[in-house]
A and B are shown apart, each in its own frame.
Chain A
Amino acid sequence: ELKVEQNPLFLSMQEGKNYTIYCNYSTTSDRLYWYRQDPGKSLESLFVLLSNGAVKQEGRLMASLDTKARLSTLHITAAVHDLSATYFCAGRPEGQNFVFGPGTRLSVLP
């Protein structure tokens, strides 16, 4: 059974700084997903990582996947306040359902 962990669970950072959110998963997952959730809102898909070594970038966010280490990272470059949200990673083993991590609540302070 796939288990997904994220760390940190809470992250407070200043604007302009860089930081990385880590997503570890316990068994093979053929895909790894990152979602963003603003307070009181729905989940929005950010990235889908399909294979080992995959790297996707959108603006100040970059996601990568290392299937051998069962690790995905979400790197934030030069954070801005608009990036404040909760970020979830999720795995989906072949033939099984999505399993979400607990989320990382990010606050970017001026």
Chain B
Amino acid sequence: DADVTQTPRNRITKTGKRIMLECSQTKGHDRMYWYRQDPGLGLRLIYYSFDVKDINKGEISDGYSVSRQAQAKFSLSLESAIPNQTALYFCATSDIRGTGVHNEQFFGPGTRLTVL
């Protein structure tokens, strides 16, 4: 089973609709992240959370909100979707506990969102 899962994997919606993307992880990591990927722009950070009570904005948080329901769950919402939010969205996790940990990020499979 995948360590980081995302639902839905694909979603087509209309302008103005509210959309929620969900992420769950079984890695036991404290840190979770939401990124969007657009062609030629790499990954840009939307929001991140270092534990259940800690939520922080990334570089492109406008138009998005998040909820950390539990250590293992981190949801991304688009309150009123617009076409330029059409992108591939990735959830990722990382951890800092222990010695010799590389702190690399582990990514979910992605959600392809199209806003018409």
Contact = CB atoms under 8 A, between A and B. Distances in A.
Contacts of B42: 88, 100-103
A97 to B, nearest CB: 6
Contact of A97 (B40, B58, B102): B58
Q: Which of A31, A43, A45, A92: most chain B Cβ within 10 A? A: A43
B108 to A, nearest CB: 6
A17 to B, nearest CB: 25
Interface residues of B, number: 19
B107 A42 contact: yes
B45 to A, nearest CB: 6
Interface in B5-54: 33, 40-43, 45, 48
Given A42-B109, A42-B110, A43-B90, A97 B45 contact: yes
Contacts of B103: 31, 48, 92
Name the residue in A90, A92, A97 with the highest tally of chain B Cβ atoms < 10 Å from its Cβ.
A97
Interface of B: 33, 40-43, 45, 48, 58, 90, 92, 102-110
8 contacts: A41-B109, A42-B110, A43-B90, A45-B105, A48-B102, A48-B104, A92-B103, A97-B48
